[in-house]
Structure 1
Amino acid sequence: MGLGKSRQVSAFLRGLFNSNLISKAIIVAPLSVIYQWKPELTKVGLQSKMFTEGNSKIHLTALENVGKEGGIVLTTYETIRDHKQKISDKLGTVDYIFADEGHRIKNEAGKASKALKGIRCDHRIVVTGTPIQNNLMEFYSLMKFCNPTLLGNKEEFKETFLVPIDRGKFKGSTPSARRKAIESSEDLNKLVSPFVLRRSKMTLKDSGRIKANKYEVIVWVKISAHQANLYEALMVDPNPRSRKHGGAFEISKYRWNDKRQEYFTTI
C-alpha cells in the first residue's frame, strides 16, 4: 500500500535487537511479498539475523540455529500451515510474530490462522493495509489474534458491535438503528484504538508522495429479474447459516431496499 509498514517494522525490530530486549522474531508474509522484507531489514542492519523459509535439511539446521542463537525467521503462511510443528519445535517460544498482509488470517477457522496461533509467542502484531475487506468479523479475527480477550467471544462481539452496526447500514434503516450503529461504531473504535497504529493515505498526501485525490461514488442500479429471484430464494432458504449476521448474504439483505428493489455498489 506504500505506507511504509515494512520499514517501520524493520526499524522497530532493530531497536528491540540492539537493546537486547528480544532474541527471536518471525515475519510471516505471502510468498509474493516475502522477499521484499530482505532489503528493508538490510537497510536497518539486520541482515545477519535473517533466515529465509524452507524445508530442506539446510534450512532446518539454520532454523535450529535461530532457536539457539536468536534471529529473524522470514517465512510464508503456507510454510507455517504445513510445518508449524517443526518450526515451533526448533524455535521454542519467540518474542514477536509479525503477520504481514494480515488479512490472510481473517478467517480464524482457517488452517494458516490456527497454525500461526499454535506457535508459542509473547507478542503478536498484524501488519495490513486492509483490516476489513468484507465484514467486521474479519477485523474481529485479526484483533483476536493479537489480543484474544479484548473483544470477548464471537457471540458477544456480534451482539455488541456487528449486528447493530450492520443494521444501521441499509437504506431503509430507522433513525434509531442508525444512531445505534454510530454509537456502536464509536464504542468499538475507542476500545481498539490503543492497540491500532494507523497510517492513512493522508500521511502520504501531506508528505507530497500522493498528488491525486481519491473519490468514492455510490451508484444505485436497478436489479435484474434473475437477481430478484435469487434474493427471494435466499429469504425463504430454510438454512439459517445462509442468513447469519456478518455473512455476505446477511450484508446483501441489509443493503437491499425492498420497496424500491434497488441495490448499490461502490466504484
Structure 2
Amino acid sequence: MNAKLYRAATLLALLTLPALLGAAEPGAPDSAATRLASTKPDKDQLTYQLESVATLLESSSAARQIEASKAPEAMARRDKARELHKAARAALQAGDLSRAAALLSEVRASFFDAVRMAAPEEVLAKKLEADYRARLDSVNALLGAYRRVANEKGSSGKMIADTVAQIDRLVAGAAVLAQAGKYKEGRAELDRAYLVAKASVSSLRSGDTLVRTLNFANKEEEYHYEIDRNDTHQMLIKVLVEEKRASNPALDQQVQTFTAKAKELRGAAEASAAKKDHAQAVRLLEESTAELVKAIRNAGIYIPG
C-alpha cells in the first residue's frame, strides 16, 4: 500500500478507535475501555465524527484513489458508505444517538473495504505472483506424488514419461507467461497442469489398486472418492479440450459421444448411491470416468486411466 493510502487507512483506524475500545472483554472492572463503552454517545462528538468521516469519504487521498481505480467493487462499497453516512446524519438529526454511532461504524467498515478493493496495481500484481507460486508448489508436490506412486505400483516407464511430459509442457508454458509478468495467465496454465497431475495420481489403478491402498472404511467412502475423480476429469475436459472442440467439428462430435455416455453412467451411479448400493455406484462411476478419459485422449492429450 502506498504512503497516501497508508495515511488514509491510519486515519480510518483512528476514527474507528472508539468502537474498538468498546470491544473490551466483559468483566474488566473499571477499565477505561468499559467506562467509555458504557458512556452514552455524545452529540457533539458524533457531530465531529460525522464531519470527519464525510471528509474521509469525499476528499481524502483514499477517496481519490477509489475514484481513480474505477474498480466496480470499490465504487459500490464507497456508494454504500455514502448511503450509510446519510442515514447516520438523519439519525443524529432525529436525536437517535445510538443508531447514529452504529451507522458511523458501518460507514467506516464499508469505506475501508472500498480502499482495500481499490488497491494499487502493484499490490494486485504481488498477490497474483504469490498465487502463481503457490499453485506451482502444488503442481510440483502432485507431480512428485505421481512419480512415487507410479514407481511403487510398477507402472510402465512410457506411461510415466508421457504423463510427466504433458505436465512439464504446461508448467513450461506457465513459466514463459510468468517471466513476461502475466501471472494470471500463467496461473491458468498451472491450473491445467494441476488437474492433469491430480487425475493422473487418481488413475493409477493397476494390480493392487490405489483405491484399496487408501484403506476406505466402506464403499460409501470410496464412492465419494470416485465422485471427486469423476469431477476432476470433467474439469479436465473443460480446460484442456474445449478449445480444440471449438475448431474441430469431428472432434467435438466424438467428445460429445463420450461425455454423453459418461453423464448417463454418472446419473446411474448417483441413483444407485441413493439406494445405498454404493458398490454398484463405484463400479458405474469408474466406467463413467473411463469414458471421460477416452474423450481427453481422443483430443490428443495423454493421461493415464
> Do the two structures share a fold, i.e. TM-score over 0.5?
no
Q: Could you tell me the TM-score, scaled by structure 1's length?
A: 0.29
Greater strand share, 1 or 2?
Answer: 1
Q: Could you tell me the TM-score, scaled by structure 2's length?
A: 0.27
> Of the two, which has the highest radius of gyration?
2
